[in-house]
Amino acid sequence: MKVVKKLKTEAKPDGSAYATPFHKLYVSDERGRAEAVVDVQKDEIIHTLHFDSETGMPQYDPIARRVHVNLQDQNIFAVKKHASPRNVPILRNSRRNTC
């Protein structure tokens, strides 16, 4: 295996999810309170989503075509909706009830 490129994130990348139809990798950065969006065809970070919470465990839902990111400090998760592969990310925060 050979490293072909290193991409700098905010502070501490600790999880990722790949959205296959969009060729995007979402990398959570817990300490940096951010989510880096990587275009894997260009091997570059194309956008960084900043939050006022530690982020973690991104997951891609292929049916809904959305990426879910835990905002750990606030008991909230963010949903990134893809309208098309070219659109800028739109975020919607949702509160979940806890048991």
CA gap 64, 79 in Å, rounded: 10
Whether 98 shows a pLDDT value over 70: the answer reads no
Asked if residue 5 belongs to a domain, the reply is: no
Report the alpha-carbon angle 99-51-93, nearest 5: 50
Instruction: Give domain status of residue 70, yes or no.
Output: yes
Helices (H), 1-99: none
Whether residue 7 is contained in a domain is answered as no
Left if phi > 0, otherwise alpha if psi is -120 to 50, otherwise beta: which for 22? Answer: alpha
Report pLDDT for 80.
72
* Residue 8 in this model has a pLDDT that exceeds 70: yes
- Give the pLDDT confidence of 26-66 residue by residue, as tens digits: 999 888 899 899 999 999 999 898 888 888 888 998 998 88
Residue 17: which domain range?
Answer: 13-95
36 near 43, Cβ under 8 Å?
A: no
Q: Is residue 50 situated within a structural domain? A: yes
The SS3 of residue 84 is coil
pLDDT at residue 81 above 80? no
Q: How many domains does the chain have?
A: 1
